[in-house]
């Protein structure tokens, strides 16, 4: 058994739902998360497979999954992640064997099997990791160019530092929430164009940022940078990330230290962490970097992944969601390895469970932009959305920014030959702002 066997596109599971070509969680994926259910309300470690969640704590207790450390009957992945990459790979290979269609060990162990397989539809998914720190980058050239064109100068859209390093800021880890958690529209200082002083009010330009995030699997000591060529070995896996943004609050507050309240009210992530081992077949080259970066940011080979991304909006009360944009992770100019090398070049330490956001991922076309700010050009060109089937009954809705009751959903899929590695979704509904006195 080696890792390549776990990624064989022909591999099938005796959990038949995992064999469907349009299933996000085939036996080649095996993403990790935290779940609970009515039978056992204690959150614990699970792996998504087809329409089931595999309860790793049950399999370990039964002696079917062998690992010395009792890390699965826990409400967070951190202790498992901290065991390191050999342990992640060992568990991946054991699970791939146990669920392979011809393997009888668990398939024929009726009693354990009944306890270990939980229907996903009946489970509650929790935040998969305790997140000590959250950093958000700004690594899409298309996104940075659009924003620079909008607010500064289309001829000099990128600031001089942008092509030299992955720009980032330290975000707020305390407000990272799992998919399904409602997001309340923030109040904040708004500087209205016809008034000299700001007012306190509900955000009027609430926006999404279509991003992915990676989870630190092995930290580094304070003062000891991670080299760019070593960086991927420090990454446990990836999630979808919606970096909610209050554009009007942001525009007034961001000079000179960057976003603060405009971003800190909520960040949503998907519940399943897809490992880099599962993503390996979808590795592709990153965009050509010109000028060539400084030596500490140079890495040979391919360091991007072909992950198709989509964002959908479902208005309150509507039967269907509308697609707002489709793009791909591979467009990102700076790679995850470069982000991590740059983050730690100062000696900054990272810790197991730290979350690193990619920055808004925009593609080259107007329908591949990862924010409403860009899709509507700061509200100047509202989107006309016709949700559902293209028939007369479908209602047309207009959007400049997000309205109360809207549900926003991001999805991500690596499309293979006859199967796919999916991320599931990150979704949230917007609640009205807290009333002000
Ligand atoms: Mn962001």
Q: What is the pLDDT of residue 394?
A: 65
Whether the CB-CB separation of 307 and 282 falls below 8 Å is answered with yes
Distance 423 CA to ligand 1 centre (A): 19
Catalytic residues: 143
CA 16 to ligand 1 center in whole angstroms: 38
**Ligand 1 centroid – CA 56 distance (Å):** 33
Q: Cβ distance 423 to 412 under 8 Å?
A: yes
Ligand 1 centroid–CA 163 distance in Å is 18
Which has the minimum average pLDDT: 104-108, 115-119, 289-293, 383-387?
A: 383-387
Query: What structural domains and CATH numbers belong to the chain?
Result: 3-126 (2.30.30.230), 134-431 (3.90.850.10)
151-170 pLDDT tens trace:
999 999 999 999 999 999 99
Work out the average pLDDT over 30-55: 98
| Strand intervals (E) in 139-202 | 168-170, 176-178, 183-184, 187-190, 199-202
Q: How far is the CA of 193 from the centre of ligand 1 (A)?
A: 25
CB under 5 Å of ion ligand 1: residues = 136, 209, 243
Q: What is the pLDDT of residue 10?
A: 97
DSSP 70-116: --SSSSSSHHHHHT-HHHHHHHHHHHHHHTBTT-HHHHT-HHHHHHH
- What pLDDT score was predicted for residue 386? 82
Q: Report the C-alpha gap between 106 and 98 in whole angstroms.
A: 6
**pLDDT tens figures, 100-151:** 999 999 999 999 999 999 999 999 999 999 999 999 999 999 999 999 999 9
CB neighbours (10 Å) of residue 38?
9
Residue whose entry in the numeric block shows the structure tokens 């971003």: 263
Query: Is the pTM above the cut of 0.95?
Result: yes
pLDDT higher than threshold 70 for residue 389: no
> pLDDT averaged over the chain?
96
For residue 359, the CA-to-ligand 1 centroid distance in Å is 4
95 CA distance to ligand 1 centroid (A)? 35
Distance 135 CA to ligand 1 centre (A): 9
């Amino acid at each position: 058994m080696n890792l390549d066997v776990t990624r064989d596109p022909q591999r099938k599971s005796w959990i038949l739902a995992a064999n469907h070509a349009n299933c996000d969680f085939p036996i080649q994926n095996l993403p990790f998360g935290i779940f609970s259910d009515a039978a056992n309300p204690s959150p614990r470690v699970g792996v998504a497979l087809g329409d089931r969640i595999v309860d790793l704590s049950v399999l370990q207790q039964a002696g079917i999954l062998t690992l010395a450390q009792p890390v699965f009957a826990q409400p967070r992945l951190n202790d498992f992640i901290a065991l390191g990459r050999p342990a992640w790979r060992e568990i991946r290979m054991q699970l791939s064997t146990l669920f392979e269609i011809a393997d009888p060990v668990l398939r024929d162990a009726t009693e354990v099997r009944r306890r270990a397989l939980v229907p996903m539809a009946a489970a509650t998914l929790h935040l998969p990791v305790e997140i000590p720190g959250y950093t958000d980058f700004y690594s899409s050239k298309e996104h940075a160019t659009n924003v620079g064109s909008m607010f500064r100068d289309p001829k000099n859209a990128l600031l001089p530092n942008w092509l030299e390093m992955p720009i980032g800021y330290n975000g707020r880890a305390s407000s990272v929430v799992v998919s399904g958690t409602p997001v309340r529209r923030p109040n904040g200082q708004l500087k209205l164009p016809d008034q000299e002083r700001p007012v306190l009010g509900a955000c009027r330009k609430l926006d999404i940022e279509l991003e992915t995030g990676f989870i630190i699997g092995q930290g580094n000591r304070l003062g000891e940078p991670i080299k760019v060529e070593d960086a991927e070995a420090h990454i446990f896996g990836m999630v979808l990330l919606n970096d909610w943004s209050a554009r009007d609050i942001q525009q007034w507050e961001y000079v000179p230290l960057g976003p603060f309240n405009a971003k800190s009210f909520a960040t949503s992530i998907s519940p399943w962490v897809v490992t880099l081992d599962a993503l390996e077949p979808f590795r592709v080259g990153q965009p050509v970097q010109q000028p060539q970066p400084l030596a500490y940011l140079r890495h040979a080979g391919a360091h991007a992944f072909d992950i198709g991304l989509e964002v959908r909006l479902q208005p309150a009360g509507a039967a269907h969601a509308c697609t707002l944009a489709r793009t791909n992770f591979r467009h990102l100019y700076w790679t995850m390895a470069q982000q991590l090398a740059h983050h730690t070049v100062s000696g900054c330490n990272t810790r197991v469970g730290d979350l690193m956001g990619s920055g808004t991922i925009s593609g080259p076309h107007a329908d591949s932009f990862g924010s409403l700010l860009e899709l509507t050009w700061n509200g100047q060109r509202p989107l006309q959305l016709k949700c559902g089937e293209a028939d007369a009954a479908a209602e047309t809705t207009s959007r400049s920014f997000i309205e109360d009751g809207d549900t926003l959903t991001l999805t991500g899929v690596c499309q293979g030959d006859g199967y796919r590695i999916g991320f599931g979704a990150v979704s949230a509904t917007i609640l009205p702002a807290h009333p002000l006195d």
